[in-house]
Amino acid sequence: MPSSTTHPSCRLLVTQRNDQRYRLSVEVTNPGLVSVELEYFHPPSFALEARVEGRRIEVRKPRFDHPVVPRVLRVEPQSTRVLETPITVEFASPSAPLGVSVQQWQLIHPPAVVQLRALRTFTDDAIVCDGRLFS
């Protein structure tokens, strides 16, 4: 039986677009018996770690210097919600220029299977979102 105090789990969803970029979304599941409210900032942003075959690769993103608005994602008991983000990632070479959008991030590596980890997505630092990008 689920606990009323069970901590929510999180997955980083990766969806391939038509332009060699991958959109990132966050899926939160609440296995508990009471609703949870997770605070975040809009537009969503987070620290992203990337690994290929266990080795960390560089994630490059333009400097974000825009206002953000606090928001709350409410997840009902024993349910799942998806937080869509405007963030996309693409494979790039070290000499590639940064993208034109602050939400267009680069993985400095040739196309590969990449393990991704989003940190600090929500103000609750204990929530870590893992995902996998298959190129």
Q: Does some domain include residue 40?
A: yes
Q: Does some domain include residue 41?
A: yes
Handedness of CA 18, 59, 108, 62 (dihedral sign): positive
Q: Does some domain include residue 2?
A: no
Query: Which CATH number do you get for residue 112?
Result: 2.60.40
Instruction: Encode the chain (135 residues) as per-residue pLDDT tens digits.
Output: 555 567 899 999 999 998 889 999 999 999 999 999 999 998 888 999 999 999 999 999 988 788 889 999 999 999 999 999 999 999 999 999 988 788 999 999 999 999 999 998 888 777 899 999 987
Q: Number of structural domains, the chain?
A: 1
pTM: 0.89
* Segments forming the whole domain that contains residue 40: 9-133
